[in-house]
Structure 1
Amino acid sequence: MSERNKKILIGIFIVIFIIVASVFIEKSRSTKEAKNTVKLGLMPGGKQEDAIWKQVKANAKKEYHINLKFINFTDGDEPNKALTSGEIDLNAFQHYAYLSSWNKANHGDIVSIGDTIITPIHLYSFKYKKVSEIPDSATIAIPNDASNESRALYVLKNAGLIKLDKSNGALSTIKDITSNPKKLTIKEVDASQIPRTLTSIDAAVINYNFAISAKIPEKDSIYKEPLNKDSAQWINFIAARKKDKNKKLYKEVVKAYEQKNVSEIIKKEYPDGGEIPAWNLNLK
């Protein structure tokens, strides 16, 4: 073989080696990236929520080399179904009372692995400026789904309008009202429809997101859900399947959320206290 052909052959081997090595490196990189990718289910939250999760994603990438991939859902039942089936790894959209109800109804084994925020709900009225002004026999609308109905009743309890029997557990219904001194009519309505009823009734307990969507001004809030021991069940969190609750990768996602820069963005995006960082709350 001539010297020239030897050089050509060596050149071909070098090219082949480079190609094989590049494929191997890329495959290794892709495999490592796949192992460090976490699919997290979310519900739509608008620009404010996007800003919060953008920072969480940046924290996860910078500090833990995690590629956080967001999967968006539009129905409140879907994120837990997707988590149970393994379609996603984690989700973050619900509070403890909701999950307790969902697990019971669906024989689920989803658990919290770290707290995120709490979104206080309000008692609104177009007719009255103070809770004390609500008259006898007034009508107050509350959500009709199990977790939000219970939450609204606790708001009325903390506002001093009713008393509740807590012996039935965290979730309460109107049947658990033990004292209603003003003889209020408590009307159960679909949570998304309550803002429309506010013009025709005396007051209503409305979830923050529905109040914002309906453009109900904060000045019409006559009582804000307090942060006390009753609030623990309304804290939102990052959820995982029970078998994965101690998985290091998922715990690092929680750490990426529970940071000062995330807390600062939450406070910046919600200056009215619409959302409050919940991982360091001291509830009494």
Structure 2
Amino acid sequence: MNIKKTLNVAFSAALLLLTLASCGGGVPAGAPDSSSGSAPLSESVTVTLGVVGAIYEDLWKPAQEALKAENINLEFVQFSDYVPPNNALANGDIDLNAFQHRIYLQSEIESYGYEIQTIGNTFIIPLNLYSQKVSSVEELKDGDVVAIPDDLTNGGRALKVLEAAGLIKLSDAAGFNPTLEDIESYNVGITIEELKANVIPSALPDVAAAVVNGNYALDFGLKTDEAIYKDSVLDVEEYWNLIAARTADLSDPAKVETYQKVVEAFQSEATEKVFNEDYGGYFIKVGWDQDLLAR
């Protein structure tokens, strides 16, 4: 059992009395309404959520607060890069994770046979090109080194950004996730260097430019208006970020109910307010109308 439940009889009795005393069997007076309109869980439940980067804790803070009224304690588990979170989820070390887009999850499933799946959409963030040495793409010259993430999916997306920026031409036969071998020609004689996504921001002083993953860009204080080229392809579902769960857990109605509340707590006006007011619209909500846990 991966959701750790702690039954507190005295608290549950008090909660029941408060619920009966409130209007029409709703939530206790002074508490926020359930996002799903259903009653809070009768038992206190802890849900562990794997994330990559401190920014995710800020994005999830409104949901974490709202879930307290649902009797759900959402705990964050931080990972330093993209490799461990799916392994931890598949092994039952965490209950959910929220750090990746759809195509990355699919590649992990194909590579490792993980039985995990999407239960809700969160947002899409741009994959921008940054530089501390030039102020525009046009200033890049032959011999300049441009860094991109070395993982297959973010690396493929980064190559598409470089193509859109006019630096390279990808083969028409390249798949959805191109690799360096799919580069047909260079419009500028740059050298593309593949680095771990989490170290690219700190490598900016050593390269001419770099494609930086959004969460790491934010962690390192890089602003979207500082990018020398901004990612403009934001409606491709494969790049939508998501919340993932173990497939086996979704056969448990109690877990599905809990996870539904977690998804709905994130997909809220309070979360969107954080997107827009705290991060200047850097995060864009997508797919919130899709019910991936329909029962």
Fold match by TM threshold 0.5:
yes
Counterpart of 2:47? 39
Can you list the C-alpha shifts for 1:131-153, whole angstroms capped at 9, x where unaligned?
23323443312122222211211
User: Any stretches of 5+ residues in structure 2 without a counterpart?
Assistant: 1-6, 16-39, 290-295
Counterpart of 1:174? 180
Do 1:60 and 1:68's aligned partners in 2 also have CA atoms closer than 8 Å? Answer: yes
Letter in 1 for 2:126: P
CA distance in 1, matches of 2:9, 2:202: 59
Do 1:258 and 1:279's aligned partners in 2 also have CA atoms closer than 8 Å? Answer: no
Classify 1:27/1:82 alpha carbon distance in 2 versus 1 (closer, same or farther; 3 Å): farther
Letter in 2 for 1:87: D
Does the residue aligned with 1:40 lie in a helix, a strand or coil?
Answer: strand
Structure 1 residue corresponding to 2:113, chosen from 77, 90, 107: 107
Counterpart of 1:92? 98
Do 2:126 and 2:234's aligned partners in 1 also have CA atoms closer than 8 Å? Answer: no
Note the 1:1-284 alignment, pairs <5 A. 25-26=9-10, 37-43=45-51, 45-46=53-54, 49-62=56-69, 65-75=70-80, 76-165=82-171, 167=173, 169-216=175-222, 220-229=226-235, 231-245=236-250, 247-271=256-280, 273-279=281-287
Letter in 1 for 2:47: K
- Shift of residue 94 of structure 1? 1.6
Do 2:120 and 2:288's aligned partners in 1 also have CA atoms closer than 8 Å? Answer: no
- Shift of residue 237 of structure 1? 0.9
Can you list the C-alpha shifts for 1:58-77, whole angstroms capped at 9, x where unaligned?
33344xx2403214132443
More helix by percentage: 1
CA distance in 1, matches of 2:228, 2:210: 10
- Bigger radius of gyration: 1
The percentage of counterpart residues that share the same residue type is 33
Letter in 1 for 2:282: G
Superposed CA RMSD in Å reads 3.2
State the aligned residue count. Answer: 253
- Shift of residue 178 of structure 1? 2.4
Do 1:59 and 1:256's aligned partners in 2 also have CA atoms closer than 8 Å? Answer: yes
Can you list the C-alpha shifts for 1:167-198, whole angstroms capped at 9, x where unaligned?
55432211112232323321222323333443
